[in-house]
């Protein structure tokens, strides 16, 4: 009821603002990277030694999920290959379950789900098992769900109950769980020194504070949302780790504001979508100060040359300034591997405030269900 909402207008807004707490809960009691983290917080009974044996045994990862959970898997692919050196595939569950694929019994099958009851993801898991893949792990927000019951290993995220149909805190806690999984696999493969482990954990522990600073940008996103509320289309660009964040930003905007939004890896711009760019097509650019920044800047010039209006999420130390047709929001700090957890937050706020400005039913958007338990 309204009492639970406190100062917030909708559950989605409340859940966006709960993210620092959710991430802090995720890390509570985590003193180091241990296989016990993947037991399912006591729900499952599979001893940590089993997780360790599985992590030593596997030679690849296959991630299966839908929607926002699929996008967190897409971020994890970059981490798993870069930090743990493990070949990783990510596939939409409804595609995987119906196609002929080449099973590898040494693959770790990872399902990701907020509800743990998504029909396609459960069917994809059972399909993988039927093909002889027995190493299964879920990253799931509901400890009592079918997904946790049916996977050998489990990491239960601590987002708490998520009510808004548009997933927000479930996504960032999935990312936190997937980052811990990456570190555990890196450790099992002998690719993580004690110093590296300590420095990754230190960065994770600072996330709640970093997230608070990002949430404080809300007034600037409200002002962007006034422009977006008048648009019928939007394009989201990102590269590398932030390409899935662009996808997630576009999905959020579609779901709750009903604005048509598409995301592209920025390098694909001139291979097609640039033809769509006019002054009526705002282009959101996720621009962390990483190795790809210079390339991203030249993509931005291509947009400006076609009168496209840019909305840039730049890191503090990025030399991109606001100018005619270029709106810049500066993120408080540069965050390396964990940067996707921060960059997604302004995109959640942009979608939320755009939907509010358009007067849609934010927590229960038309045609959608919170948990898709039928095909």
In the complex, the smallest distance separating the C-beta of residue 66 from ligand AGP, rounded to whole angstroms, is: 4
CB 175, min distance to ligand AGP, A: 13
247 sits in which H/E element: helix 243-257
Q: Among residues 88 and 121, whose Cβ is nearest to ligand AGP?
A: 121
CA 182 to chain CA centroid, nearest Å = 15
Residues 6+ apart with CB under 8 A from 157: 22, 26, 139, 140, 141, 170, 173, 174, 176, 177
In whole angstroms, the minimum distance from the beta carbon of 211 to ligand AGP comes to 19
What count of other Cβ atoms lies within 10 Å of the Cβ of residue 179?
25
Closest CB to ligand AGP among 114 and 257? 114
Query: Would you say 290 or 363 has its CB closer to ligand AGP?
Result: 363
**257 contacts: CB under 8 Å, gap ≥ 6:** 228, 229, 351, 354, 355, 358, 360
Q: Give 196 or 371: the residue with its C-beta nearer to ligand AGP.
A: 371
Torsion of CA 178, 119, 70, 133, to 10 degrees: 60
Rounded Cα distance between 332 and 342, Å, is 9
| Residue 319 half-sphere exposure toward CB, CA atoms < 13 A | 1
Residue 25: its H or E element: helix 19-27
Q: Which residues bind ligand AGP (CB under 6 A)?
A: 66-69, 113-115, 118, 121, 165-167, 255, 371-372
Residue 313 C-beta: closest distance to ligand AGP, Å: 19
Of 16 and 66, the one with the shorter C-beta distance to ligand AGP is 66
Q: Which is nearer to ligand AGP, 122 or 309 (CB)?
A: 122
Least distance CB 210 / ligand AGP (angstroms): 23
Q: Round to whole Å and give the CA distance between 134 and 337.
A: 30
252 part of the active site: no
Interhelix angle 19-27/194-205, nearest 10 degrees? 150
Secondary structure element (H or E) that encloses residue 172, with its range: helix 169-188
SS3 53: helix
Task: Give least dist CB 166 to ligand AGP, A.
Answer: 4
Residue nearest to ligand AGP (CB): 67
Residues assigned a catalytic role: 370
């Amino acid at each position: 009821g309204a009492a639970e909402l406190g100062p917030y207008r909708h559950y989605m807004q409340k859940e966006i603002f709960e993210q620092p707490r959710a991430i802090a809960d995720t890390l509570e009691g985590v003193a180091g990277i241990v296989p016990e983290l993947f037991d399912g917080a006591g729900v499952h009974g599979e001893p940590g030694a089993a997780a360790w044996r599985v992590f030593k045994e596997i030679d690849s990862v296959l991630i299966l999920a839908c929607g926002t959970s699929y996008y967190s898997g897409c971020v994890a692919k970059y981490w798993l290959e870069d930090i743990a050196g493990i070949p990783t595939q990510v596939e939409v569950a409804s595609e995987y379950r119906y196609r002929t694929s080449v099973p590898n019994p040494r693959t770790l099958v990872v399902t990701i789900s907020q509800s743990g009851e998504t029909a396609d993801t459960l069917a994809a898991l059972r399909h993988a098992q039927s093909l002889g893949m027995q190493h299964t792990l879920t990253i799931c927000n509901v400890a009592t769900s079918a997904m946790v019951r049916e996977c050998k290993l489990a990491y239960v995220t601590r987002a708490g109950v998520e009510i808004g149909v548009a997933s927000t805190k479930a996504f960032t806690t999935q990312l936190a769980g997937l980052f811990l999984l990456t570190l555990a696999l890196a450790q099992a493969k002998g690719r993580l020194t004690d110093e590296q482990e300590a420095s990754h954990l230190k960065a994770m522990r600072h996330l709640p504070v970093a997230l608070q600073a990002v949430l404080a940008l809300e007034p600037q996103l409200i002002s962007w949302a006034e422009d977006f509320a008048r648009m019928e289309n939007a394009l989201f660009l990102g590269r590398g780790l932030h390409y899935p964040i662009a996808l997630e930003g576009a999905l959020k905007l579609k779901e709750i504001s009903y604005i048509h939004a598409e995301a592209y890896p920025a390098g694909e711009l001139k291979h097609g979508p640039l033809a769509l760019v006019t002054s009526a097509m705002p282009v959101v650019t996720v621009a962390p100060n990483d190795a790809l920044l210079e390339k991203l800047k030249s993509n931005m010039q291509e947009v400006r040359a076609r009168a496209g209006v840019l909305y840039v999420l730049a890191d503090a130390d990025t030399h991109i300034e606001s100018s005619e047709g270029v709106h810049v929001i500066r993120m408080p700090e540069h965050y390396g591997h964990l940067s996707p957890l921060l960059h997604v937050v302004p995109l959640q706020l942009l979608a939320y405030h755009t939907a509010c400005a358009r007067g849609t039913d934010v927590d229960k958007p038309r045609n959608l269900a919170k948990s898709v338990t039928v095909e």
